Amino acid sequence: MKDAIDAILHPVQATYLERMLPPREALFQEMEAQAAREGIPVSDPEVGQLLEILARSLAARRILEVGTAIGYGTLWLARGAPAATIVTLDRDGDRLGRARAFLERAGVADRVELIEGEALESLMRLDGDFDLIYIDADKVGYRRYLDQGLQRLRVGGLVVADNLLWKGKVADPEAEEDDATRALRAFNGYLLSHPQLSAVIVPLGDGVGIASKKQPLMTDQGGPF
């Protein structure tokens, strides 16, 4: 989640867009309040709405989420794709338990498989094909999550990655260098230049990457040759 509504956009435009957000149902508001109170990283509401729109437009049947937290993004995805099965990965068992409770209250828990463990290890054990992959976990791991996820994503499927502008730091040459900032700068270039993807980064929330898998990987075709 971004630190402030003007972390990416100028204040006037950011305030306008924040004011235009439709009201969320009570359960979403409760999750947002809990995340803010406890410092739990969850998606911004506008990113959640984007997830719902994309899941619905794909008529997604199988969705992968890397980074569950308390299930905020999971619920948006479930709302957008009422016929989908969602597999979501997180290493924090306590947060997964809270996610399960929220998803049960929302009536979607029967469609969600919550997997506890290191995300990369869990991801490598999964079979494809997914229609949509949402990445919102530790930033240093983003490239590895993408590489593994693409092997499990159908052609025409989407990858969505959150926090790509990272509180504005990736574009600020004077920003304090840290592992996450360096990793995201490298990831952004990798995402936008990946030969199997058509990708864009939009200044929504804390910066969102959206990519469509436009052709098979070598591994999809039995390679490397």
Of residues 57, 148, 71, the one with CA closest to residue 111: 71
Selection from 102, 68, 106, 69 nearest residue 86 by Cα: 68
Three-state SS at 73: helix
Domains assigned to the chain = 11-214 (3.40.50.150)
**76 burial via Cβ count (<10 Å: 0-12, 13-18, 19+):** buried
Instruction: Please check whether residue 63 is in contact with residue 131, taking contact to mean a CB–CB distance below 8 angstroms.
Output: yes
DSSP 79-94: HH-TT-EEEEEES-HH
Per-residue pLDDT tens, the chain, 225 aa: give them. 667 777 767 888 888 999 999 999 999 999 999 999 999 999 999 999 999 999 999 999 999 999 999 999 999 999 999 999 999 999 999 999 999 999 999 999 999 999 999 999 999 999 879 999 999 999 999 999 999 999 999 999 999 999 999 998 998 887 778 999 999 999 999 999 999 999 999 999 999 999 999 988 766 666 554
Neighbours of 217 (CB within 10 A): 16
pTM, rounded to two decimals? 0.93
The two three-digit tokens of residue 75, written as one number = 């619920």
